[in-house]
A = this chain, B = another copy of it.
Amino acid sequence: MTALDPAVGSLPTELVSRLQELLGTEAVLLEDEQVQEFQDPYWIPGDSTYRGSAVVLPASTEQVQAVVRLANEYDVPLSTSSQGRNNGYGGASPRVGGSLQLSLRRMNRVLEIDDELAYAVVEPGVRWLDLHEALEAGGHRLRLSVPDIGWGSMVGNSLDNGVTYMANGQDFSAACGMEVVLPDGELLRTGLGAQPGNPGWHVYKRGVGPVLDPLFMQSNLGIVTRMGVWLQPTPEAYQTLSLNIEHDTDLGAAVDAVRDLMLAGLVRGVPCFYGAPLNGTIIKDLPMQPGTAWTDEQLDDHGRETGLGRWSVRIALWDDPDVMAVKRAKILQVWSRIPGSSVYEGPVYTPDQYGEITNQTEKVQIGIPHLDLLDLFPPFVGHVEVSPVAPMKGDVVTEVVDIIRTTLVSNGFLAQIGILAISARSAAVVTGINFDKTNEDMTKAALSVAHNLINELGEQGYVPYRTHLHFMDDVAGHLSFNDGAYHRFLGKIKDAVDPRGILSPGRYGVWGSQGSERGNDR
């Protein structure tokens, strides 16, 4: 066995040959430029802390198993991504520099679409764009809950607790039933998939015995090679509604109102609150570098000029037309009680009219994946996200928003905040910190303020729903109940199923005894 210095990032020559033999030379990327394509696009230029050594692209589950076995044989850490579009949180980069990267982009088959039970089964390389295309091509009357940018992997996004916006996006409910390559190369099927031929694998979320699927979320305990995705039947009518709030002080009232509508079953999906100056149509005109934070007066002016106010809340209705009309009236009635509020109503669309939709707010809430947002960011802009979870209470969400704003503004950064109501009871306060990625000092300043903000929020009792590689150990450190019992328990599991610490050591702070030897900044 040849030793690897993970900080250097060079692989044993013999391993490279065996990978090439296994996958074909074109599926083993070794050139600097090729490997760079699979790294965090916003990381500090020239810094190799989170840079992988090479990228392999297996085309089948069997090839994934074989790669995992080779990684064990040569004692090389292996870091997995699906499409690798985890931007703002580290992209496809490994937590441990020098890792061999395994990209699942080539495993891109839609394996099954079930019209009656409204689900699909996909490989991890399938993007929202791909499944949407398959649904359209097959004439299926099914909609796919999508996120803001359609280039990502459904599997990858689900495994990172990523949010989508239709009914199955609520409480991350879309994923059901997995096939997983374990750290020793063995193949596991979760839930009813553990029984050969059971037709319930992708429609029943438990199984018989302990339920494993969520153990593979934000995890390094296996590589998911197949997953069920629940879909929503195409509704007879579809409409978006937006609530605009003039005064920042009424954010709390809007949060409470949306929560109550969700609890009453009147609003489904994931409502989003966009704080000025975060709005799709105007982002590109905003200043991106430190020192350009706006004052409250500027934000008020901006809200008035755009007509969007300080906060804009978007929801959607997917219903029978009669049901929709009644729900709409109830929602507008509740919203009308919020001071200084106004409502924007999108058109009511029937399924044959979706082709006419051009507005990205309307596209995304009926499951039309797109890349429009990419055009809104000038090419020099990078971003890092700080996204604490908060209970859906107006005063609590307002407190979290205030902590974020105070820290960012005092450091000269614009606070671009979107509040995603993951369920009626909790929200992710997603904060994008933008910077000029071509400028090393600005990049470092943004990372530093993000780091401070993570820790400031941590001290106040909030942790993020998802975090950048660079902050994973910090966040794990905040999970300190009973001397870190959560991570001590996970460490035992990691050691038991991955004794060499081969799979993505350090991901979300899970190192295991062997993996921690590989952590080059611990």
Contacts and interface: CB of A to CB of B under 8 A. Distances in A.
Contacts of A462: 195, 198, 200
Contact of A463 (B198, B393, B461, B492): B198
Given A209-B508, A218-B210, A319-B265, A195 B463 contact: yes
A371 to B, nearest CB: 27
A122 interface: no
Contacts of A423: 203-205
A358 B496 CA distance: 54
Contacts of A509: 208-209
A225 to B, nearest CB: 13
Contacts of A176: 425
Contact of A217 (B204, B206, B219, B392): B206
A197 B233 CA distance: 41
A389 interface: yes
Of A118, A171, A208, A219, most buried by chain B (CB within 10 Å of CB) is A208
Given A172-B205, A189-B482, 8 more contacts: A188-B489, A200-B462, A208-B475, A212-B489, A214-B214, A233-B264, A323-B326, A496-B496
B200 A210 contact: no
A106 interface: no
A377 interface: no
A33 interface: no
Given A188-B485, A265-B318, A485-B189, A208 B203 contact: no
A318 B323 CA distance: 14
Contacts of A211: 214-215, 217-218
A486 B426 contact: no
A423 B203 CA distance: 9
B189 A486 contact: yes
Contacts of A466: 208
Closest 3 CB pairs of A and B: A211-B214, A496-B496, A203-B425
B497 A208 contact: no
A425 B510 CA distance: 34
Nearest to A187: B482
A337 interface: no
Contacts of A493: 493, 496-497
Contact of A204 (B119, B210, B422): B422
Interface stretch (A70-78, A146-154, A255-263, A274-282): A255-263
Contacts of A172: 205-206
Contact of A200 (B118, B196, B389, B489): B389
Contacts of A497: 489, 492-493
Q: How many identical subunits does the complex contain?
A: 2
Contacts of A359: none
A384 interface: no
B391 A117 contact: yes
A245 to B, nearest CB: 19
B480 A196 contact: yes
A433 to B, nearest CB: 19
B194 A117 contact: no
A482 B396 CA distance: 48
Interface string A480-512: 111001111110110111000000000011100
Contacts of A320: 264, 266, 326, 330
Given A463-B198, A475-B208, A392 B265 contact: no
Contacts of A508: 208-210
A316 interface: no
A343 to B, nearest CB: 19
A404 to B, nearest CB: 16
B196 A259 contact: no
A118 B485 CA distance: 28
A414 to B, nearest CB: 26
A199 interface: yes
